[in-house]
C-alpha cells in the first residue's frame, strides 16, 4: 500500500481537526475567573494536539527522507 500525501493529509485532518475544535472551545472559556481545572484541561488538550501534530510531522519527514533516498540511488 502506497502512502500518498493525500492519504496522510486526509487522515491527519480527520484526527487533528477535532482536537483543534476542542482547543478553540476550551480557549474561549478561559479568562480571569478560570479555575485550575480549566487551565489543566486546556493544558491537556494542548498536549494531545501537539503530540498528534508531531506524529504526523514525523510521518511526513520519514516519507520525504525515504523518497529522497530512493531518488539518490538513481
Residue by residue, DSSP assigns 14-73 as HHHHHHHHHHHHHHHH-STT--HHHHHHHHHHHHHHHHHHHHHHHHHHHHHHHHHHHHHT
Q: How far apart are CA 52 and CA 19, in angstroms?
A: 9
pLDDT at 11 over 80: yes
pLDDT at 5 over 90: no
pLDDT tens track for 28-66: 999 999 999 999 999 999 999 999 999 999 999 998 999
Instruction: Say if CB 49 and CB 20 are below 8 A apart.
Output: yes
For the entire predicted model, the pTM comes to 0.81
Please give the pLDDT value at position 1. Answer: 59
Q: C-alpha grid cell for residue 69?
A: 533516498
Please give the pLDDT value at position 43. Answer: 97
Instruction: Say if CB 37 and CB 28 are below 8 A apart.
Output: no
pLDDT average, residue stretch 13-27: 95
- Name the residue range of residue 14's domain: 5-28+35-72
**Number of structural domains in the chain:** 1
Amino acid at each position: 500500500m502506497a502512502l500518498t500525501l493525500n492519504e496522510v493529509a486526509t487522515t491527519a485532518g480527520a484526527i487533528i481537526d477535532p482536537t483543534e475544535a476542542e482547543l478553540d472551545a476550551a480557549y474561549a472559556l478561559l479568562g480571569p475567573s478560570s479555575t485550575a481545572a480549566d487551565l489543566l484541561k486546556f493544558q491537556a488538550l494542548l498536549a494531545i494536539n501537539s503530540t498528534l501534530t508531531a506524529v504526523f510531522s514525523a510521518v511526513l519527514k520519514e516519507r520525504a527522507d525515504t523518497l529522497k533516498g530512493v531518488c539518490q540511488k538513481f
